[in-house]
Structures are given as C-alpha cells and as structure tokens.
Structure 1
Amino acid sequence: MAINGGINNMVKKLSNILYMQHNYCGQSCSVVKCWQWNIKRFIMFQTNKTIQDKYAVLILNRPISQNPDFVKSFWNNASVRMAVDGGTARWDTFLNQLPEDVQKTMKLPDFVTGDFDSLTEDVLNKYKKKGTKTIRTPDQNNTDFTKALMELNKHCQQENLQLDHVIAVCQNSGRLDHILANIQTLHLVKVDNLLNPNTTVYILSDDSISWLLSPGDHVISVPEETRQHRRAWCSLVPIGTPCESVTTSGLKWNLDNQELKFGELVSTSNTFDGSEFVKIKCSHVILWSMRVPHLISE
C-alpha cells in the first residue's frame, strides 16, 4: 500500500493544530492543550466494570498474540468490531483455536474492509454469509488501516455514535514500511480529520500500547502492574520532525526542556520511577509507547 504523503509535512501540520480532548480518563482538562490519559478505561475494563467507554477494535493483518481471555472480553465489549483485509484471516485463525463452545459466544465482525489483496475469497465469503458487512476499498493512495478508519467514521456519523477510543490490534514487527505506515495513519487521523476530534487511536502490539501526544501538557495514568513490573519500559520518540522541548516527571530518566531528535537524543528503553502518573510537556508531536504486561501470558 502507498503511504499517503510525507510524514514530515504531516507532522509539521499536526504540530500547529490546537484542539481539546475531553473525558479520556473520566475528567476534562480545564486548560487548553492539556490531555489526561488512562488506558485502564478500555485495556483493563474487566477489572473495573463501572467504566463503560465506547470503543472500536480493528484487527490488522498480523498474528494476534495477546492473551485469549483478554481478546475475548476486549472484542465482545467493543461498540464496533472491524477486520481489516488480511486481518480477517488472522481473526478467523484466532477464533478457530478457541474451544467450540467459546467460539459460539464470540460476536461477529461488524465490518470487513480493505482492497482484499491479502484475503482469500473463501474467508471473505464465510463472513459475508454470516452477516458481516463487507466494504471493498480499492484506493491505493491510502493504506487499508487508514481506509478502515474512514469507513468507521462514516458508520459513526450514520449511527450518531461517538467513540471514545479506536484500538488497532497489530504488531510492531515484520515489515518496517508497514510499521511506519501505521504510525503515519495515527498522524492522518488528526491532520485529515479521519475521526471525531474526541476519538483517539491507539496501536496495540503484543504487550505494548502506543499513541501520539500532541503539543502541550499530558498526564498519563500508569497502571500499577506496568510501573512495578521488573521489565517495565516506555518510550518517547519524535516522528517526522524533532521535538524541540520535552520536560517530564515520573520517569526513571526524566527530560528537562531537552530536544528529542533522530541523530541525537531519542528516549527509548526508558522506565518509571514508581509514580502513579507520568507528566509530559512537549513542543511537538511525539509517539508515546509503554508496556502493559497482562496483555500476553508470560
């Protein structure tokens, strides 16, 4: 698939966009350009039944490596379920590995989208016959991931559905161009208004989760199991353009008004100091990632 436009130009454009996001952790920031993040609202919802965020799950074309018990709950509780091109076969493989009685409890994908160059007609027809809506998206100027978000947005507008989160299940391994294309899609969400401004897109890969931090102040709630884990890690990576100034607290190796830039300093393999929150102030867009141990079985 072609990557739509240059990441560098898109990031620069995104860096100039000021927008406000609400209720990502049950609270609204009172200051413009301030975001609060709490992934427990959708990643660990099975331990907190009182929180009912609305989210969509997208299965991309990589093996599903997460704990089956987590995936079952995560999938069935989603407001919208989508399989993206070859991700449909990945979902079918995961489903067939479950006990037959459990398979019957699993909800069907609401949509299968893509240009279908990575999906056999047999698997496609299987879900068609079961009632899943299939949408062919042949445009080669965008990836199947990007096009799936466009179709999701159409659905939300038609159904008057406001999603809090969209989580793409994939892997940050395999082809490097696919990994970069997934990050490009995160940028396009805001640059091209692919979704409602109050909906955030996350990438879920093995036992890690990643999303973009826009210029401004961020308060990230770190689950206890994450910050106390013996192999906990997190990272702050500038994508496409340097981040001229980053200041943090709550990390083992904090940044103090420092620049993040490829060829110089990039904060990979960082970790936590045990604090409940990580606070980040950044001048430009950065990619935040962290480990969530319970997502896979150790």
Structure 2
Amino acid sequence: MTTTWRCAELLRGESSKKYALIIVNQPIRKDLLSKAWTAAEVRLCADGGANRLYDIDEDKEYIPDLIKGDFDSIRPEVLEYYKKEHEDTKVIHDKDEYSTDLMKCIDEVDESYALVLLGGLSGRVDQTVHTMSLLHKTKREIYVLDGESFAWQLPAGKHEIEIDHNTMGQTCGILPVGIDSAKVKTRGLKWDTDWETSLGGNLSTSNHLVPENPTVYIENNRPILWTCEIRPLS
C-alpha cells in the first residue's frame, strides 16, 4: 500500500483534513502564518509563540483559541491583551517542568487533528533537535513549517508526495533522524537514491525536485525525515 501525501495544500491555505496549528517561540514568516492559519481549524500558541504572533499581527486579526505553557517567555502585556481583549482565548498556565511548552500544547489537541507547527527547525540547536525528536517518536501526524523548510516524517513504507512547484522550492532532503540507517529508494528527484542512508554514510541532502514531476515516490524500510524548501507565498 502506498501512502499519498497531499499536505502541500497547507502552503496554499487549503485543507482536505482537520489541521491544528501550533505557533512556537521562533521567528514567523507572515505569508506562512496566513496560509497555515487559513488551513487550520484550531490555533494554539506555545508560551512565547504568543509574543511572535502578537508582534507580527499588526492588525490583530489572528486570535488564537488557546495559549499554554509555563509562561516563562510570554510578555506580561501580551498575556494581558489576550486575556482581557479576547475572552474566547483560553489561557492555561502549566508549571510542569518535565514537558516543553510545545508538548503541553500537543496534549491539548484531539488526536483526530493533524498537527502543524509554525516554527521549530530554526533558532537554537537544542530546540531544533527537540522538534525532530517529536516528529520521530510522537505517533501523530505532524508537519513543520519554518522559515525555509517544510518537513515531516515518512514512516516505513511506500510514499507518493504531491509536489506543488509554485510553493515548494527545488531543494529537498531525506534525513535519517532518530535511526542508525535506512534503505531508501526514490523516483522523481534529480538525483534518485537506491541505497542505505545514515549520518555516517550516504546522505541525500541538497537534492532537487524536478519541475516536470508532479510527484515524488519514496520507499523506505525505516522512518525518515523528508524536507523541502518553501518559496515566498502569495
């Protein structure tokens, strides 16, 4: 059985399924915010993610459904604004020291939703590794939209990824994150692979999407991280 991935729709602000958006405490691209916000049914801010939303939203048109975290990052005036001006925004102060703000937000989202993280792969290295760890070990459908990258995990199996060349740039990669190695076979890339990939061996980084190919086929015997470049979105 081949899994078809149609999540390029997120870059167009479209949805064929239920998405929940979680904004993390990293810089936001406003074009990505607009598309992901439109595609999502539920929108959350993970602690300082509320600062990022507040600062970029000059017209205050994006109002989250929930803000959750230990509140060591959210600015007092931002917290006060969403509490007082928007009573429909639920605010949860969670002091648990053994879970991150992102994990706390994920716990709030019903499992019928696919998760979309706005941010999480740039900034501090430890935060980036944390995001990749969640993609690897969390048994949820999670997509990450960051400054330049669109990424998600492909479980072991056969995959067909729908490519939108208007929103996806040419650069892509197949990364063995959280595993020692994986056998990966591709069809539809500029440099197709049919070999074992590992951090200590072969890696398919800076590969290219082919303009005339509307799909990419990947077969892998262990979970891998797929990532592709994001163009400026109109």
Q: Same fold (TM over 0.5)?
A: yes
Deviation readout 1:81-131 (Å, 9 max, x if unpaired):
1011000011000112xxx4xx3xx24110001111111222112111221
Point out the structure with the larger helix share: 1
User: Whole-Å Cα distance in 2 between the matches of residues 43 and 53 of structure 1?
Assistant: 14
Match of 1:222 in 2: 163
User: How far apart are residue 176 of structure 1 and its match?
Assistant: 0.4
SS at match of 2:109: helix
Match runs of 1:6-155 below 5 Å: 31=1, 34-45=2-13, 52-67=16-31, 71-96=33-58, 100=59, 103=60, 106-129=61-84, 130-131=86-87, 132-153=89-110
Quote the offset at 1:52 in angstroms.
Answer: 4.5
Which aligned pairs between 1:177-192 and structure 2 lie closer than 5 A?
Answer: 177-190=126-139
Letter in 2 for 1:294: P
Number of corresponding residues: 231
Output the CA distance in 1 between the equivalents of 2:203 and 2:224: 10
Task: Give the letter for the 2:27 counterpart.
Answer: P
Distance 1:73 1:174, change over 3 A: closer
Query: How far did residue 242 of structure 1 move?
Result: 2.5
RMSD: 2.0
Tell me how far apart the structure 2 counterparts of residues 95 and 226 of structure 1 sit (CA, whole Å): 22
**Which position in structure 2 is the counterpart of 1:204?**
145
Deviations 1:161-208 (A, max 9, x none): x32x32111152221000000111112321xxxx5xxxx211101132
Distance 2:137 2:95 in 1: 18
The answer (yes or no) to whether the contact 1:242–1:284 under 8 Å persists in 2 is: no
The amino acid that maps onto 1:268 is: T
Cα deviations across residues 26-78 of structure 1 (Å, max 9, x unaligned)? Answer: xxxxx2xx3110123332146xxxx54321111100111242xx533532452
Take 2:196 and 2:35, find their aligned partners in 1: how far apart are those partners? Answer: 40
Which structure 2 residue ranges, 5 or more long, are not aligned?
A: none
Report what 1:26 is aligned to.
Answer: none
Q: Aligned partner of 2:223: which letter?
A: V
Query: Cα gap change, 1:52/1:36 in structure 2, threshold over 3 Å: closer, same or farther?
Result: closer
Structure with the higher fraction of residues in strand conformation: 2
Q: Give the match for residue 125 of structure 2.
A: 176
Q: Distance in 2 between matches of 1:212 and 1:166?
A: 12
Note if contact 2:22-2:46 (Cα within 8 Å) is conserved in structure 1: yes
What CA deviation, in whole Å up to 9, does each residue of 1:130-179 have, x standing for no partner? 211011222222221122101123xx6xxxxx32x321111522210000
Letter in 2 for 1:287: L
Task: Determine if contact 2:136/2:177 at 8 Å carries over to the other structure.
Answer: no
Aligned-residue identity in percent: 32
The alignment status of 1:264 with 2:201, answered yes or no, reads: yes
Contact 2:23–2:117 (CA under 8 A) maintained in structure 1: yes
CA distance in 2, matches of 1:71, 1:244: 33
Q: 1:284 aligns with which of 215, 222, 228?
A: 222
Letter in 2 for 1:125: E
* TM-score, structure 1 as length reference: 0.72
